[in-house]
Structure 1
Amino acid sequence: MAIKLFERVDSGRGLFAVETISLIYNALTSLLILLLFPRMDHPGMMLLERLGIVILTFVLIFLYQAFPCRLTAFVRMAVQMSLLAYWYPDTFEFNRLFPNLDYLFAHAEQILFGCQPAVEFSKLCPSIWFSEPFNMGYFFYYPMILVVVVYYFLNRFEWFEKICFVLVTSFFIYYFVYIMLPVAGPQFYFPAIGMDKVNACIFPAIGDYFNTNDYLIPGPGFEHGLFYQLVEASQEVGERPTAAFPSSHVGISTIVMIMAWRVNKKLAYVLAPFYILLCCATVYIQAHYLIDAIVGFVSAFFVYQLATLMYKRWFISPVFKLMG
């Protein structure tokens, strides 16, 4: 394993594909900050943070050129993927300025299903035997991604850059949608309007309510469960009233399952229970409307194909050719 980690690779390239798409997203959102500058909460700090990301990217390039091996290549990819934890809440800084659209989605749920599935699901299955497995599936979202990425790194290194690019690009595609489509999800919208209105099937528009309010309703289920508490803790730290439609949890995890299936079907079978629980959990914990999850699943195949096409068009030559 140590031999593979420190095996030399081509040091002649500059930016990796995943760094290129990250810098493009950085530049586009920076331009959007400048356009919305007077209305934003802390645009100057956001621009400085983006500059810091650019500097970090090039510092890692210099590190890689000094020590060109698989390990430093992995570090470069891992840093760009870890920065998704910054880019996700960042979408809220944009869409908080626009009128919230949850009332349209809650109304659509009522028309399509005759109820609010996010409410009814948790009412039907409140016990620990449902709550803990669903919360476990939701919690394993990022571990699932990590498992597949590391598998490619260790066993299919020639495809490693491609799958990192496809994953990060897929996230960015969803993030652009979230910036332009401000939908917070039931866990934010329902407490904002009150459960009395939800039960009466009244879903009022609330304008830019979330620009100054971000109260998150505690999730349903068995509140003393380990995974329940882990999910609650992670949401308290990183969740914002944004990114409900379509569900990137469902979309990205579906893309991860496609990647796992293509490289190792046994790996896909191992991940499948977590994937199914995760998809159910998005509605069960009221993070998403059911239509968010459905569109997240369907959109995953289009997003995967688009990101793959972008990689093929923009980065033709194989990356990380091992030096003889």
Structure 2
Amino acid sequence: MRHTLHKVFRSLWFLELYEIIGIVVTIIAVIAFFTTGTQLDQMRGIPGYHWQPVIWVYNVYKTFIPKSIVFGMIFLFLFFLVAKRPMRQFPQMIGTIVRVFLPFCLLLAVYRTLQFFIPLYDPHDKDNLLLRIDHWMFGVQPSIWLQTYIRPWLTDYMSFVYASWFPLIFITIVALLIKSRKGVSEFIATSLITFYIGYGTFVIVPAIGPVYTLANRYHVELNGTIISVIQNTIDTNMTIARDCFPSLHTGISIVMLVFIYRYWRPLAWVYGPLVISIIASTIYLRAHYVIDVIAGLLLSGITVVVCPKLVTAWDLYRNRKVQAQVQLTDVPEPHPAVQTAKVDPYNSLNV
């Protein structure tokens, strides 16, 4: 048993920090699910209700996740052709794609399931507090003031950039895979930590957003082709999301912009206007309060500085562990190459 545990811990040294985060979150999520499931059943008055979110998540993502991985593989295959990269490296890239995409697949499952459980932790939404903060800062509710500027074409544009936010995360991963191995590892870890801190805050400060709380005060509807399509595809079985504070559309957009600027600077000229538009769309489309956006900016401002340092620290730690293990190996005269063996922090991202 002791030997088995030792082997398990040794295997952790070869994982990226974002994979460690995924493992930890999975353990926490499973424990929370089974310890609070009965309470959710009692609150809803439906025996076995806590399994419904799991079934819903499975039905939604059982086709989405494989398709996303396949599209990522196709994109990189085309890149290999255009860039004339050796095709012998492509099989390794398949494993890389799966490794970098799986943490985000878990992220989706945790997010969707969490939305059903948030009222269990705090049944009282904090929208009134957020409304008061916005009014204190501006003297008006910004989304109501913006009604003067609503136009169908602008609504379509704002709806498009708002909806493009999540696909842009995967585009950013692929772009960094092409450009920088280190950048991929840092970006994914930073994004996941930003997401999960945000999820924790959703539990502490649950809010449904101005689109619901100020619905009777809007006199101009958000009409447009794209937003109509989005509204028609919303699953009515999904509980109203309490995911306003902080605005992760804002926080993760800033994370994407920062890492693109660090590792593929010319592309930042494309990301910059897009990120500004995404942030503006959160208010225009009545999805967030301004204080949500400010909180998202502050959160990402911290994570883009701290998280890359955590990645570097983890890489140094696991290198020391592997080197110590090599020194303890019972070999009379190890080959010089073995004496200097260490973990390449980005060996799984060798593009």
Category of TM-score, reference length = shorter chain: 0.7 to 0.9
Corresponding residue to 1:70 among 85, 93, 111: 93
**CA deviation vs aligned residue, 1:40-89 (integer Å, no higher than 9, x gap):** 14445668999xx9xx9xxxxxxxxxx97122111121122233322222
Aligned residues: 275
Equivalent residue in structure 2 for 1:104, among 129, 135, 144: 129
CA contact (8 A) 2:29 2:110 kept: no
Residue 127 of structure 2 is aligned to residue 126 of structure 1? no
Q: Is the aligned partner of 1:320 residue 2:339?
A: no
Asked whether the 8 Å contact 2:179–2:264 carries over to 1, the reply is: no
Please name the residue that 2:21 is paired with: 21
1:285-300 to 2 correspondences below 5 Å: 285-300=285-300
Match of 2:268 in 1: 268
Listed as ranges, the matches of 1:175-214 within 5 Å are 175-191=199-215, 195=216
Please give the TM-score of this superposition, normalised by the length of structure 1.
0.74
Between 256-265 and 235-244, the greater mean CA deviation after superposition: 235-244
Contact 2:126 2:207 in 1 (8 A): yes
Higher relative contact order (CA 8 A, sep 6+): 1
Deviates more, 1:31-40 or 1:91-100: 31-40
Cα displacement string for residues 225-245 of structure 1 (whole angstroms, at most 9, x for unaligned residues): 2x3234434654778321100
Report the alpha carbon displacement of residue 311 of structure 1 after superposing the two structures with TM: 2.2
Aligned-residue identity in percent: 20
TM-score (norm 2): 0.68
Equivalent residue for 1:80? 103
Structure 2 residue runs of 5 or longer lacking an equivalent are 1-10, 42-48, 66-89, 320-343
Alignment match, 1:307:
307
Shift of 1:91: 2.4
Identify, as 1 or 2, the structure richer in helix: 2
**Residue aligning to 2:330:** none
Q: Give the number of the structure whose alpha-carbon radius of gyration is greater.
A: 2
Determine if contact 2:18/2:103 at 8 Å carries over to the other structure. yes
Task: Return 5+ residue gaps in structure 1 as ranges.
Answer: 1-10, 57-66, 200-218
- What is the RMSD computed on CA atoms of the aligned residues? 3.3
Secondary structure in 2 aligned to 1:243?
coil
Once residues 239 and 287 of structure 1 are traced to their aligned partners in structure 2, the CA distance between those partners, rounded to angstroms, is: 15
- Pairing 1:168-179 to 2, within 5 Å after superposition: 168-179=192-203
Amino acid at match of 2:177: F
Partner residue, 1:117: 142
Q: Deviations over 1:269-289 (max 9, x none)?
A: 111221111101001111101
Deviations 1:192-246 (A, max 9, x none): xxx26x99xxxxxxxxxxxxxxxxxxx94233x2x32344346547783211001
Specify which of 164, 179, 182 is matched with residue 155 of structure 1. Answer: 179
- Cα distance, 1:182 vs structure 2: 1.0
Amino acid at match of 1:228: I
User: 4+ runs of 1 displaced by more than 6 Å?
Assistant: 45-50
